[in-house]
Structure 1
Amino acid sequence: MIFKKRTIQRRFHATLLLTCLLILLSGCTKTPTETQGTTPPAETPSQTESNTTNNVEQANPQANQPESTTSDAEGLPSGVTVKKVIKDEAIKNNYRKKVELLTDDGKRITITDASDKIVLRNLEYEGIITEATGNQVTVQVKNGGQQTLTIPSQVVIEDEDNLGLNKGVEIEWTLNTDGQIESVELED
């Protein structure tokens, strides 16, 4: 697909928005540090209860394990697997971005924080519409097979050139981890 100025600008804005989100989230995960060599203040009854809860959580460390990226099938449609990792790199503030090519020729994008907890995960697809009836379109996926999509009415279709859901129009769509369409973009 040919990259156009508006596509590059849109992707730049999306990257900028994602970077801002990551910076905001990284500021929320910092914990205050304790000064060494000082004596702790006397505990109040509520602090004692809190410490008891913390001790219980420490006794069972698996109870509060953060969600990690170890599952290859997590967030994928049934029957779809990871074909190969396209990119796995560190980004700002100890975050990691992983882009994986899927067997249905989509891409799974996962961003994790320093503790390997998933911050963002979605699936991206692109292709050309081969058939369209209302909100339902059949798409020839780039480098892959065909998929039939039903675009929910609440999803706003980004269509700067007023192309509409018509045969021959390029389409990009994003799915969340529940398999629901989050965004749709049309290009000529």
Structure 2
Amino acid sequence: MTQNKGNTQRQIRASILCLICACTVLLSGCSKAANETTPVTTEAPTTEATAPAATNHATEQPNTSSGTNTEGIPAGVSVQRVIKEVTLKDGYHKKIELLTDGGKRVTIADSTQKIVLQQIEYDGKISTVNGKQVTVKVEGGGEQTITIPDHVVIDDEDKLGWMPGVEIEWTVNAEGQIESVELED
């Protein structure tokens, strides 16, 4: 009789353990669906572009996931692929796309698909400097010559200055103007 009692207890424990595991899996799936913070990466067709201009003309257009939306992209540049796509709190949606000129277009839209922020971020190394004009070898792209506006404050913590070989990051806002510049070694 003690052997049957032991087998019954093991079966009950095993059943409870299986039930706990099933509930955990089910609940973890529900919490992901509720929060939707897991990044979803999609691929867009790869295309080639000609010499890009450092402009950005964003408008309040619905956000598309196809990678074919050319709003806010410089002339002659296209979306190479979607790097990351994620839903944020309160129904906001963030999409980061790799552009053929090496830039990364960051778009944030609200729950109604209205774009609330769209900018392009660039990383590269300075090739040449001529006053306020800087030629940069862009990571993942070609060379770009940019003109640094007088009103932009340069973030240069290490006091590197405008020297060839110095790494530079800059952001182009919705109006196609340089918004911020950071120099790093």
Query: Shared topology, TM-score over 0.5?
Result: yes
The partner residue of 2:178 within 159, 164, 181 is: 181
Give the aligned residue type for 1:152. Answer: P
Aligned to 1:112: 109
**What's the offset of the Cα at 1:136?**
0.8
**What's the offset of the Cα at 1:121?**
0.5
Runs of at least 5 residues in structure 2 that lack an aligned partner in the other structure: 1-59
Aligned to 1:96: 93
Q: Distance in 2 between matches of 1:91 and 1:140?
A: 33
The partner residue of 1:140 within 137, 141, 157 is: 137
Q: Distance in 1 between matches of 2:105 and 2:160?
A: 27
**Mapped pair 1:68 → 2:65:** no
Q: Is the 8 A contact 1:110 1:121 kept in 2?
A: yes
TM-score (norm 2): 0.64
Give the aligned residue type for 2:184. Answer: E
Q: Distance in 1 between matches of 2:153 and 2:62?
A: 31
Give the aligned residue type for 1:69. Answer: N
Aligned to 2:80: 83
Give the aligned residue type for 2:106. Answer: I
Q: Is the 8 A contact 1:76 1:177 kept in 2?
A: no
Q: Distance in 2 between matches of 1:67 and 1:100?
A: 16
Runs of at least 5 residues in structure 1 that lack an aligned partner in the other structure: 1-65
TM superposition outliers: structure 1 runs of 4+ over 6 Å: none
- Larger Rg computed on CA atoms: 2
The partner residue of 1:164 within 152, 161, 164 is: 161
Give the aligned residue type for 1:148. Answer: T
Aligned-residue CA RMSD (Å):
1.2
Give the aligned residue type for 2:110. Answer: D
Matching of residues 113-132 of structure 1 within 5 Å: 113-132=110-129
Give the aligned residue type for 1:140. Answer: K
**CA distances 1:41-70 after superposition (whole Å, capped 9, x unpaired):** xxxxxxxxxxxxxxxxxxxxxxxxx73124
* Percent sequence identity over aligned pairs: 59
Q: Distance in 1 between matches of 2:69 and 2:102?
A: 15
* Residue-pair matches, total: 123
**Mapped pair 1:154 → 2:148:** no
Q: Which has the higher contact order (CA 8 A, sep 6+)?
A: 2
Per the alignment, in what secondary structure is the counterpart of residue 93 of structure 1? helix
Per the alignment, in what secondary structure is the counterpart of residue 90 of structure 2? helix
TM-score (norm 1): 0.63
- The structure richer in helix per residue is 1
Give the aligned residue type for 1:118. Answer: I
Q: Distance in 1 between matches of 2:61 and 2:145?
A: 31
